[in-house]
Amino acid sequence: MSTLTEAPPPLTPTAPEKKPPRRRGRLVPYWLLLPGILWLLVFFALPMIYQASTSVQTGSLEEGYKVTWHFATYWDALSEYYPQFLRSVLYAGSATILCLILGYPLAYLIAFRAGRWRNLIMILVIAPFFTSFLIRTLAWKTILADGGPVVGALNTLHVLDVTGWLGMTEGDRVLATPLAVVCGLTYNFLPFMILPLYTSLERIDGRLHEAAGDLYAKPWVTFRKVTFPLSMPGVVSGTLLTFIPAAGDYVNADLLGSTDTRMVGNVIQSQFLRILDYPTAAALSFILMAAILVMVTVYIRKSGTEDLV
């Protein structure tokens, strides 16, 4: 009688042991972030700390400045120069609205209607950046010169009469008036509005427009219900990129305006380089940054785009 022996079970390959990730590999992302962190520390954090210490100093240029924690400098600067702060917000806000009115149709054209001309139009939008900011602003002095074709056309259309009633111009001239400053700000910062708008509009799926048409929506309804809401991230980004640098600008007000159109940037520049009152200049800089930060935070919350910007 033969005995049957059971065959041994087949050998199953065992998975190799997973080695724990090396510590060096986990530190690679932090090493990659190190250059950016060093850049921010050297060119942002350290100057901010130095400016903060300067704003609470007292003394003079001859005797030297010492940190005495004189926080009253902030109140003195704000109470003396609040008209320039209000003027900066007004001019920057006006330029931002004009940039949005002018830039949105152009961005819409590039995104949906430009076709093979898209790249050419984009180059024309970016082309001003190849010229110095100072030269571009000086060119507007020629464009808006008294007796020039622009001023003549505005007089013919009685535009200067209306703007004069609004306090934007004086008499029959545009230079050295708030209108000239706002025009300069609008021109110089218009590309900062167009580029985010174009990027946001280009991402919209064209099938959404087709679906709106299939549901018998008119073009204006499609724009109001579909296009504009989906482009809100670009609107918010563009307005921020335009308003923030425009509020601190001093070149346009200096070259195209007068003493009555000085913005807070002109005051800071004058305090730093002419009057040499460094604590007041530093305090004005911090007040401006704080005011812009508060306005930007409120604007983003009201627009409901905290997770999209």
Task: Look at residue 160 and tell me if it is in a domain.
Answer: yes
Residue 82's pLDDT is: 93
Of 13-22, 51-60, 178-187, 224-233, which gets the smallest average pLDDT? 13-22
Q: pTM of the entire structure?
A: 0.84
**Model confidence at 132: pLDDT above 50:** yes
- Spell out the alpha helix ranges (H) of the chain: 23-26, 28-40, 46-55, 72-108, 118-126, 133-143, 149-156, 159-165, 178-202, 206-214, 219-222, 228-230, 232-247, 251-256, 264-270, 278-303
Residue 183's pLDDT is: 93
pLDDT in tens, 237-290: 999 999 999 999 999 999 999 888 999 999 999 999 998 899 999 999 999 999
* Mean pLDDT within 7-14: 59
Q: Give the distance between the most distant pair of CA atoms in the chain.
A: 128
- Of residues 124 and 20, which shows the higher confidence score? 124
- Of residues 167 and 81, which shows the higher confidence score? 81
Residue 309's pLDDT is: 46
* Mean pLDDT within 24-39: 84
* Mean pLDDT within 290-296: 91
CA angle 87-93-97, nearest 5°?
Answer: 150
Residue 15's pLDDT is: 54
pLDDT in tens, 188-236: 999 999 999 999 999 988 888 889 888 888 889 999 999 999 999 999 9
**Model confidence at 120: pLDDT above 70:** yes
CATH code for the domain in which residue 127 is found: 1.10.3720.10
Residue 5's pLDDT is: 55
Burial of 73 (0-12, 13-18, 19+ CB in 10 A): buried
Task: Look at residue 297 and tell me if it is in a domain.
Answer: yes
Task: Look at residue 46 and tell me if it is in a domain.
Answer: no
Task: Look at residue 105 and tell me if it is in a domain.
Answer: yes
Q: Are 183 and 144 in contact (CB under 8 A)?
A: yes
**Model confidence at 91: pLDDT above 80:** yes
Dihedral of CA atoms 285, 286, 290, 292 in degrees, nearest 10, equals 10
* Mean pLDDT within 40-68: 89
Q: Are 239 and 296 in contact (CB under 8 A)?
A: no
Residue 30's pLDDT is: 83
CA angle 205-208-210, nearest 5°?
Answer: 115
What is the pLDDT confidence band of residue 165, given thresholds at 50, 70 and 90? Answer: confident
Domain span at residue 84 reads: 76-204+232-303
Task: Look at residue 108 and tell me if it is in a domain.
Answer: yes
**Among candidates 145, 183, 309, 152, which has minimal Cα distance to 241?**
309
Residue 139 φ/ψ, nearest 5 degrees: -60, -30
**Model confidence at 47: pLDDT above 70:** yes
Task: Look at residue 152 and tell me if it is in a domain.
Answer: yes
Task: Look at residue 19 and tell me if it is in a domain.
Answer: no
Considering its fold, how many domains does the chain have in total? 1
CA distances from 191 to 96, 128, 183, 208, 304 (A): 11, 9, 14, 27, 24
Task: Look at residue 216 and tell me if it is in a domain.
Answer: no
Residue 228's pLDDT is: 92
What is the pLDDT confidence band of residue 56, given thresholds at 50, 70 and 90? Answer: very high
